[in-house]
Amino acid sequence: MTFETERLLLRPWDEGDAEDLYRYASHPDVGPIAGWPVHTSVEDSREVIRNVLSVPESYAVVLKEAGRPVGSIGLMVGGASNIDIPDTEGEIGYWIGVPYWGRGLIPEATREIMRHGFEDLGLERMWCGYFDGNDKSRHVQEKCGFRCHHTAENVPC
C-alpha cells in the first residue's frame, strides 16, 4: 500500500533502499535518540529492511522531488506495539534524516498515517512516544494533536 501527501509518498521499504537508508541511519544524531543503534554499513541497513522494516504498516518516507527515502514511519497496531495496547489502538513511530529536519515532513507523514489508522483501519486511539530530550519528536506530536498522557521513568523508552 502507498500513500501520497502534498510532498511525500509513503511506501513499503524495499531492499534496494539500503543505500538510502544507510545514508541517513548512519548519522549519530538519528537512531540513538529514537532508540536504535547507528547503522554501520549498507549491509546492516539491508538487514534492517529485511528484519525490521518489512512488516505491515511500515513505510519509507519518500520526498516526491527526490524519489528516494529520507526517513521512515510506521503504525504498530495492537500486539505489534511494545506498549501493550489493544487491537483497536495503534502506536506511531518515525524518524527522518538530518538534512530534512525542520521542514515539516514528518508531521505531514504522521497526519497521513493517522488518517489511515482512523479511517481505513478503524482504530479508536493512537499513541506516540519520545525519549527524554528528543524535543523534535515532541514537537511533531504536538503539531499533530497528541497530548501528554503519562511519563514513564526508569524505562528504556
Listing DSSP states for 17-51 in one string gives GHHHHHHHHTSTTTHHHHTSPPP-SHHHHHHHIII
Residue 82, pLDDT score = 81
- Residue 77 contacts residue 121 (beta carbons within 8 Å): yes
3-class secondary-structure state, position 113: helix
Residue 156, pLDDT score = 57
For residue 105, which amino acid is it? L
pTM score, whole prediction? 0.90
Q: Cα separation of 144 and 126, whole Å?
A: 11
3-class secondary-structure state, position 75: strand
Any idea which residue has 525490521 for its cell?
52
- pLDDT tens for the 157 residues of the chain, in order: 999 999 999 999 999 999 999 999 999 998 888 888 999 999 999 999 999 999 999 999 999 998 999 999 999 999 888 888 999 999 999 999 999 999 999 999 999 999 999 999 999 999 998 777 788 888 888 998 988 777 777 765 5
CA 43 from centre of chain: 21
Residue 23, pLDDT score = 96
Contacts of 37 (CB under 8 A, 6+ apart): 31
